[in-house]
Structure 1
């Protein structure tokens, strides 16, 4: 005998069923939203934000130095390309003049017609006149041959210059691509740092920005900027690591004097003055004021002089930081330097133990 089951009861059917399902899903979603709101992730601790922001600024500065290096290569490649292009244009103009000269000679010969020299001598009534004309024709022929040789030489030179220009243009495009990549990296790091700072409440962010603007060494900055301007202020006479600090002299004194005059100017990545600087832009400008040309980036400036140990530091030395040699300052004695720290932090005096020391070089 067949089993009898009680039929299931469906209170809604058709459109009514679909409407009920939609309302149920909406209620569940609403409940989830309110539940999520009630358990929102807590704000990160200010110390965590500061550490992450500091790391992002360090990475941005490393990318800035790579950007500076790429820009230097772009400038060199563009200058070389422009020189080749100008030289090719001059050579082409010379080539065209030589071609025009050949065309004029050919036209003149066509219009005058030519007879075999033996027949010309037979028909002439004045052999002396013929010989004079023949001598002149020979000179014209020599000149024509020289012009042809010049044309051939110029064609070869123009072809070589155009090939070199194409190679130089490809190199320029490669450096421009790297420049854009590093520019994007810098901007993304700085943008991420700003977003992190936005997670701080108003009070914590104001405190952080005030600390960055003032620097940990703010108490000593004011008193140290009123010395002789050459690294000989009283604060600069503190013992340096390894012994007494000699006064800065000569070009080192001039470089320090220039750097002191920049204190308070803003940090701007990629800037070389006179109104703003990045770290290597400041040291380059300071030594340029002393008559010395330095390379543009930290990782090339460290090889611009001869290396010295931390114990041997003297005023005017360049001091470098971080494992990637991504930051540089100008040593002024007493364990301190003048440097352009980072966005939001103006050019200032700071202790060299504020960052991981990577090396130093002395500009001779």
Structure 2
């Protein structure tokens, strides 16, 4: 599709080359495999100036009707915005998996905090018990008139003096033991309290970090929506100008140019409609994410059976469901949430995080892949899908898209993993 669109625009407008990254107005219509972000995902001054405020016909320097280079200029702006959006999507995918990792760490911190709290309660109970025992022995010693051996020998019946001395000596030993037990219990209590305080503080740091990551994702979703709005406006302007070119060519009886302009307008309208649907999904995903509480990760689901065949079957059953950060089913998923879900149904428990899933089974090469294997992408393992054979996978790509079948992204493929093997 892209060469056709480039040819059409070449016929209609001279000026900037339309063969740059993204392929002109068709960029994003069938993005089977994302390119790695350039400049480490940073944007330059061109993409930073390419905001929705710079809309066609606006005061921000957008293209004006009547210039020979209008169509080429708009297409170049679309390409730059799409590159910016692809970079942002990569960053958001990385951030989403970091968010998943922190939810797992928070669950671990919750368990550690619960253990520490129980240990503190046990230590408190031990101190109370030791204190009560020490107090009781001290009371017994007081009632016996003190523990002076000489006093015991010189008072009372001389025939029972040694017995009384033995009893008092035993009481004294028990009292000293009780004092030692109380000191040890208090020492254990101090350590348990310190451990509980540290685990509570660590848990709070994770809670704060998770909240910060949520804010970052929500802000990125806002930027994603603004970029999509800008692309929609540019496609609408491209369609409008192409229709004007078509009318002018018809008046001039230039049938070839009129047909090319009509095709350009048609493709621009199709892309505008696709972007509008994508923007709607982004909004839905953002709202769903904002409404969901930032909870620790739940234990990975299990209980099914059937192995790889069942995993592939379950993956097919999720086709068409929307991508939402941190979602693990059944109505929406992110990439690692989908793979966790389908393999859980197949009886294998794996964590909801690409980094942990990378070590959740036997590593396999591209040539060894069989249906059901997990396929990972990017040096940072920012994405995962489930292989279904014939070079294809089922995956939850990113916000604005749904679970779908797609060719494996071989250019960024890092390796495969066979869960449970």
Aligned residues of 2:279 and 2:400 also touching (Cα < 8 A): yes
Partner of 2:152: 120
Q: Single out whichever of 264-273 and 312-321 deviates more from structure 2.
A: 264-273
Tell me, yes or no, if the aligned pair for 2:127 and 2:185 is still in contact at 8 Å.
Answer: yes
Number of the residue aligned with 1:230: none
Structure 1 residues 117 and 344, CA gap change in structure 2 (3 angstroms):
same
CA contact (8 A) 2:229 2:279 kept: no
Give the Cα separation in 1 of the matches to 2:156 and 2:314: 87
Superposition CA RMSD, Å? 3.1
Secondary structure of 2:192's aligned partner: helix
Which of these residues, 64, 73, 77, is aligned with residue 96 of structure 2? 64
Name the structure 1 match of 2:14: none
Which residue in the other structure is 1:285 paired with?
341
Offset of residue 325 of structure 1: 1.6
Does 1:143 find its partner at 2:174?
A: yes
Mapped partners of 1:301, 1:144: distance in 2: 58
- Give the counterpart of 2:275 among 187, 190, 208: 208
Query: C-alpha separation between the residues in 2 aligned to 1:44 and 1:132?
Result: 109
Equivalent in the alignment of 1:54: 86
In structure 2, do the counterparts of structure 1 residues 94 and 341 end up closer, same or farther at CA, with 3 Å as the change threshold?
same
Q: 1:161/1:94 Cα in 2 relative to 1: closer, same or farther (>3 Å)?
A: same
Q: Is the 8 A contact 1:335 1:351 kept in 2?
A: yes
Asked whether 1:197 is paired with 2:235, we answer: no
Q: What is the Cα deviation at residue 211 of structure 1?
A: 7.3
Give 5+ residue unaligned stretches, structure 1. Answer: 1-35, 215-248
Q: Which moved more, 1:286-295 or 1:63-72?
A: 286-295
2:130 corresponds in structure 1 to 98
Residue equivalent to 2:315: 259
In the other structure, the counterpart of 1:110 is: 142
Q: Which residue of 2 aligns with 1:340?
A: 396
TM-score, length-scaled by structure 1: 0.70
Structure 2 counterpart of 1:164? 195
Following superposition, the deviation at residue 283 of structure 1 comes to: 1.0
Residue pair 1:322, 1:355 contacting (<8 A) in 2 also: no
Higher-Rg structure is: 1
- Displacement of 1:131 after TM fit? 4.8
CA change 1:37–1:115 in 2 (3 A) is closer
Counterparts of 1:264-279 in structure 2, within 5 Å, are: 264-279=320-335
> What's the secondary structure of 2:62's corresponding residue?
coil
2:293 maps to what in 1?
none
Alignment match, 2:110 = 78
List per-residue Cα deviations over 1:200-226 (Å, max 9, x = no partner). Answer: 236544222457999xxxxxxxxxxxx
Q: Contact (CA 8 Å) 2:396, 2:403: kept in 1 or not?
A: yes
Contact 2:137 2:174 in 1 (8 A): no
Q: Give the whole-Å Cα distance in 2 for the aligned partners of 1:340 and 1:106.
A: 71
Cα 1:58–1:37 change in 2 (3 A) is: closer
Q: Which residue of 1 aligns with 2:211?
A: 180
Aligned pair in 2 of structure 1 residues 213, 340: CA closer, same or farther (>3 Å)?
farther
Q: Aligned pair 1:325/2:381, yes or no? A: yes
Task: Note if 1:313 corresponds to 2:369.
Answer: yes
Structure 2: gaps spanning 5 or more residues: 1-56, 64-72, 237-268, 282-304
The superposition leaves residues 246-289 of structure 1 with CA deviations (integer Å, 9 ceiling, x where unpaired) of xxx95212322332332332211011223321101111222222
Structure 2 counterpart of 1:304, from 353, 357, 360: 360
* Partner SS for 1:198: helix
Instruction: Note the alpha carbon deviations across 1:317-360, whole angstroms, 9 max, x for none.
Output: 11012342211001121212221122232222222148732322
Is the CA contact 2:123–2:192 (under 8 Å) kept in the aligned structure 1?
Answer: no
Q: Is the 8 A contact 1:88 1:158 kept in 2?
A: yes
Aligned residues: 294
Pick one of 169, 185, 201 that aligns with 1:154: 185
User: Which region of structure 1 is more displaced relative to structure 2, 134-143 or 79-88?
Assistant: 134-143
The answer as to whether partners of 1:273 and 1:281 remain within 8 angstroms in 2 is: yes
SS of aligned partner of 2:157: coil
TM-score normalized by structure 2? 0.62
Check conservation: 2:278, 2:401, Cα contact below 8 A: no
